[in-house]
Amino acid sequence: MIKRALVTILFITLVLAFLSGCATPTPIVKEVPVEKTVVVTKEVVVTKEVVVTATPAPTPEPALTIIDGAGRVVTIPKTPERIVSIASAATETLYAIGCGDKIVGVDKYSDYPPEVKDKPQVGTGSKLNVEAVLGLEPDLVVAWWFNREAIKTLEDKGITVVAINPKSVDGVMETIRMLGLITGHLEEAEELISEMQAKIDEITAKVKDVPKEERPLVYYELYKPMKTVGQGTFTNELIFMAGGINLAADEPVRYPVLSEEYIIERNPDVIIVVSGGASVDEIKARKGWQSIKAVQNDRVYTIDRHLVTSNPRLVEGLEQFARWFHPDLWK
């Protein structure tokens, strides 16, 4: 009995041992510290390609070559920014086409428009203060064609000079156009010319049908007694355009000096004296002139010199002439 018990215990022990050997072992969990993982990304530097284009040097402004009023070939290197005008008509024209701000000096006769009084004066074309002109550092001087000495002196000093010499109404307009071209204000010059032409057409249309026998004989006097205007002057043309006949139209020189006897003999219907010359009363008081029809009929007038020179206001002078010659057409 005891032996069976021992065998049984032994059997159970073997079974347990066997079962222990076949069982799945319990895993041992060991906490392993996890290292911090740092992901380093490579910085990619994107370089923007910048194309540097060199700024090209400005194209030099082409020089302008003209034939001026003195018949000279003149080259203007660039559009002038500093202008001295020693011709009053040119001064007024430059203002009229929008170049007043470029004028840095004028002659003493330049008095229109009113703002010109603020410009430095440099004398006159015949008595020019050359040092004053040079001190203004002009890149252009505009002068009358007959100021030959002043023109030569300035050009010898390296100054560009343009001369003006309009001999007709068309010549005045060409002078305006020339100054517009030189200064870069051609568009404004053309607009001004168009306005002038429209006014001229309006005036001449009123007198074009007046017969020759009804056109008055006109004596026009300048600053010096008996000095007048002949053919080749735009004043002579203005008289004709206004419906008159110039007493000196057939004279061979532009500015003839007539004798009093000749004037009295021709017996003009109208006498016009430029401002700054003789007064109306002085004309009427001249010996022997009381027999002239113009004096007898009180048709002696003074015209503002600004209206009968080569500037844009000559159309006002034309209209004034026409009103004096044919007052009935303006009633």
Judge contact between 72 and 154, C-beta under 8 A: no
The pLDDT score that the predictor gives to residue 275 is: 95
The pLDDT score that the predictor gives to residue 62 is: 75
The pLDDT score that the predictor gives to residue 60 is: 60
What gap in Å lies between CA 230 and CA 222, rounded to an integer?
11
Structure-block tokens of residue 258: 């007539």
Give the dihedral sign, CA 135/138/139/140. negative
Structure-block tokens of residue 49: 């390609």
Architecture of domain 64-193 in CATH? 3-Layer(aba) Sandwich (3.40)
Angle separating helix axes 169-183 and 186-207, nearest 10 degrees: 170
The pLDDT score that the predictor gives to residue 46 is: 44
What's the half-sphere exposure (Cβ side, CA atoms, 13 Å) at 65? 2
The pLDDT score that the predictor gives to residue 37 is: 41
The CA-based angle 110-114-115, given to 5 degrees, is 90
Q: What residue spans in the chain does CATH classification 3.40.50.1980 cover?
A: 64-193, 209-330
The pLDDT score that the predictor gives to residue 7 is: 45
Selected from 3.40.50.2000, 3.40.50.1980, 3.40.710.10, 3.40.47.10, the CATH number assigned to the domain covering 209-330 reads 3.40.50.1980
The pLDDT score that the predictor gives to residue 219 is: 98
Structure-block tokens of residue 166: 């309009």
What beta strand segments (E) does 236-284 contain?
Answer: 245-246, 270-274
The pLDDT score that the predictor gives to residue 40 is: 42
Judge contact between 325 and 207, C-beta under 8 A: yes
The pLDDT score that the predictor gives to residue 10 is: 47
What gap in Å lies between CA 121 and CA 117, rounded to an integer?
9
The pLDDT score that the predictor gives to residue 63 is: 86
The number of residues in the chain equals: 331
Over its length of 331 residues, how does the chain's per-residue pLDDT go in tens digits? Answer: 444 544 444 444 544 444 444 444 444 444 444 444 444 444 444 444 555 555 665 556 678 999 999 999 999 999 999 999 999 999 999 999 999 999 999 999 999 999 999 999 999 999 999 999 999 999 999 999 999 999 999 999 999 999 999 989 999 999 999 999 999 999 999 999 999 999 999 999 999 999 999 999 999 999 999 999 999 888 999 999 999 999 999 999 999 999 999 999 999 999 999 999 999 999 999 999 999 999 999 999 999 999 998 999 999 999 999 999 999 998 7
Pairing of strands 83-85, 64-67: unpaired
How far apart, in Å, are the Cα atoms of 206 and each of 92, 236, 283, 301, 325? 28, 19, 30, 21, 12
The pLDDT score that the predictor gives to residue 331 is: 78
